[in-house]
Amino acid sequence: MTKRVYNFYPGPATLPLPVLERAQEELLDFAGTGMSVMEISHRSKEWDKVMSDANSLVRELMGVPTDYKVLWLSGGASTQFFMVPLNLQQPGKPMEYVNTGGWSTKAIKEANLYGEVKIIASSEDKKFSYIPQNIEFNEGTAFAHISSNNTLYGTEWHYMPKVPSDVPLVSDMSSNIMSKPVKVKDYGVIYAGAQKNIGPAGITLVIVREDLLDRVPENIPTMQKWKIHAERNSLYNTPPVFPIYICKLALEYTKEVGGVKEMERRNEEKAKVIYDVIDSSDGFYEGHAREDSRSLMNVTFTMASSELEDKCVKEGEARGLIGLKGHRSVGGMRASIYNAMTIDGVKTLAEYLREFQSENQ
Amino acid sequence: MTKRVYNFYPGPATLPLPVLERAQEELLDFAGTGMSVMEISHRSKEWDKVMSDANSLVRELMGVPTDYKVLWLSGGASTQFFMVPLNLQQPGKPMEYVNTGGWSTKAIKEANLYGEVKIIASSEDKKFSYIPQNIEFNEGTAFAHISSNNTLYGTEWHYMPKVPSDVPLVSDMSSNIMSKPVKVKDYGVIYAGAQKNIGPAGITLVIVREDLLDRVPENIPTMQKWKIHAERNSLYNTPPVFPIYICKLALEYTKEVGGVKEMERRNEEKAKVIYDVIDSSDGFYEGHAREDSRSLMNVTFTMASSELEDKCVKEGEARGLIGLKGHRSVGGMRASIYNAMTIDGVKTLAEYLREFQSENQ
């Protein structure tokens, strides 16, 4: 019997145990080929099936309309930070961003290389502890960009900003993709590094409306064009086969247990367990995010002193509760409870936090 | 007992069985963490050790001098095709390339975006069946670029071109890295997609001399700067952890069995077994590459008709000899016999080819 801890790391993050078991079982012999999935050609029929299954599962689970392409790309969301403006820029039009934290800030920095960027709202004034409300993007904008969940600060968008109908909304959903249903048709582009909610590190999911593929300038490197990857079904060059394969298994698992709607139910239940501990702690635990902006994925909180926080992290580790240290930009603690985190894990954490409070108050 | 075929795919390609077995064994519990290696944070001490072991192994196996950086990047060699000129360009200076096939051609296409490219030699006149000899790059060149092994055509450089001392030589070693010793100090930059000789798809090894890191222009995307990846020890963003981990295991295995020198001995032995079949077939099998340019990694050959070739591929498959179909640009057949292909695999193939000849002549 394998020892298994509860892993609250912000990403790479915990994966569903049945997915890992399946990967382990067939690691030396994939689909009866006598080869590992890592060893089969990306031009083989066995690989074709993995890719086409992964695509179909994304389409089905997210309800992706037929006029959108599903791409599997390299380089993480950090690469999309420049590929978004590069592929969507329009001469003479500004690009509009909302700044809700570290990842938005990085996305904005890359966009600045390609033209005028307007930051139409920011929550930097209060340490990114909230999502600006009543956001409206402007006419005449090349595209509108948000980060739907903010891993570092534990905030999440719980409403749709207003976007003019001819302005594509772009969302970095790295840390909450498939955690709840979204209407894909409300977006021009959705992108997400896989390593939080849908798989391991090393692969990025990009969903892009077809008409937007034609905006890309001619004279840029081939690998930077969504259009090329769309035309080649993400096989322009050798893709990261193993990460895509694990995503496929995780998507199958998501479907099996009830899909994205069921994920939302679980995620709401899980988040409530932890936020209840915080809210009933009489200030022993202090939530970082404003209540209306609380993330269901990353619960951030602080305590009276960093010594106490360190103690809490350390004693949690000893009990098999791993990865609770907060990001240096917020300090304190953070429990990342993505799709694959179980309700048992969350309840065990809640119990521990209550105990820790009663022992250290 | 797992069924295991002989896999002659050109990449993704066969991996050493002990590496796969080790990965399988610890897939659910890496280094006693109670997590899969896919689930641990890239900022954890356990991951630090994987990266630092992988780096040390590359340095040791290849004899990398201390003034070179070892980087693990995303996006494959196809991404380096533009990152090389982008990071090494110098205003007013041309970039010199030798065109030895499909990959060189793609590299040249990307370089054209950044300035003047001079193709100082090409073997396109004879279907890329040879490596141009006596190559000398010119003074005043920003950098000199070669593709050290050509997967599609089965050719390989067996000598060092002459390069002025102040011109960095850049080599795409994707398909023969660590197949034989090279003097790293003769190169400015070495890059290689991992999926042929050192690991699975999804990770690219880049070895770059430190002084070259400062050539990069300021105003380009962060992810495109080798300098940033060098400063952050390949952890600027979340790296493809699993592919790097498999590379680490494969490098450990390479060291264990005798290092790169032993790989060279094995590769020479393996290649000879197949080329001997071709050379003693009285023209039944026709080698594509000129003798002085024959690759030790990819043996390409044709037969009298494509029907015969198809038959040979198909009957081979039935015997567990997989991936022998040649690339569409050459046609015919190709046996890719990278580091991880065993001498047994090669002997089994040779035996089959002799049999096939006697039955079909």
Helix (H, G, I), strand (E, B) or coil at A28: coil
Domain positions in chain B are 17-256, 258-360
Nearest alpha carbon to residue A207 among A193, A190, A223: A190
Nearest alpha carbon to residue B174 among B330, B19, B298, B344: B298
Task: Tell me which residue in A36, A221, A237 faces B76 most closely, judged by beta carbons.
Answer: A237
Radius of gyration of chain B measured on its C-alpha atoms: 21
Q: Which CATH class is domain A17-256?
A: alpha beta
Q: How far is B121 from chain A (nearest CA, A)?
A: 23
Cα dihedral across residues B205, B211, B215, B219: positive or negative = positive
The pair of three-digit structure tokens given for residue A189, joined into one six-digit string: 């582009």
Inspect the interface and report whether the beta carbons of A241 and B201 lie closer than 8 Å: yes
Q: How far apart are the first and last CA of chain A?
A: 37
ipTM of the complex: 0.97
Q: How confident is the model at residue B28 (pLDDT cuts 50, 70, 90)?
A: very high
Inspect the interface and report whether the beta carbons of B195 and A14 lie closer than 8 Å: no
A92 touches chain B (CB under 8 A): no
Chain A residue with CA closest to B321: the answer is A34
Q: How confident is the model at residue B34 (pLDDT cuts 50, 70, 90)?
A: very high
Q: How confident is the model at residue B2 (pLDDT cuts 50, 70, 90)?
A: low
Q: Residue A104's pLDDT is what?
A: 98
Q: Residue A329's pLDDT is what?
A: 83
Distance from chain centroid for Cα B256: 21
Inspect the interface and report whether the beta carbons of A113 and B221 lie closer than 8 Å: yes
- The fold for domain A258-360 equals Aspartate Aminotransferase, domain 1 (3.90.1150)
Q: Residue B1's pLDDT is what?
A: 46
Inspect the interface and report whether the beta carbons of A243 and B246 lie closer than 8 Å: no
Q: How far is B72 from chain A (nearest CA, A)?
A: 11
Q: How confident is the model at residue A288 (pLDDT cuts 50, 70, 90)?
A: very high
Q: Residue A1's pLDDT is what?
A: 45
Most B CBs within 10 Å: which of A3, A74, A317, as the mutation test of the B interface? Answer: A74
| pTM of full prediction above 0.95 | yes
Q: Residue A105's pLDDT is what?
A: 98
Inspect the interface and report whether the beta carbons of A221 and B110 lie closer than 8 Å: yes
Mean of the per-residue pLDDT values for chain A?
97
Cβ(A164)–Cβ(A139) below 8 Å: yes
Known catalytic residues of B are: 103, 172, 196
Q: How confident is the model at residue A2 (pLDDT cuts 50, 70, 90)?
A: low
Instruction: Tell me if B17-256 shares its fold with B258-360.
Output: no
- What mean pLDDT comes out for the span A131-136? 98
Task: Tell me which residue in A33, A74, A201 faces B76 most closely, judged by beta carbons.
Answer: A74
* A chain contacts of residue B40, beta-carbon cutoff 8 Å: 7, 9, 12
List Cβ neighbours of B176 (8 Å cut-off, separation of 6 or more): B148, B149, B156, B196, B197, B295, B296, B297
Span B87-123, pLDDT tens digits:
999 999 999 999 999 999 999 999 999 999 999 999 9
A vs B, Cβ pairs < 8 A, gives 217
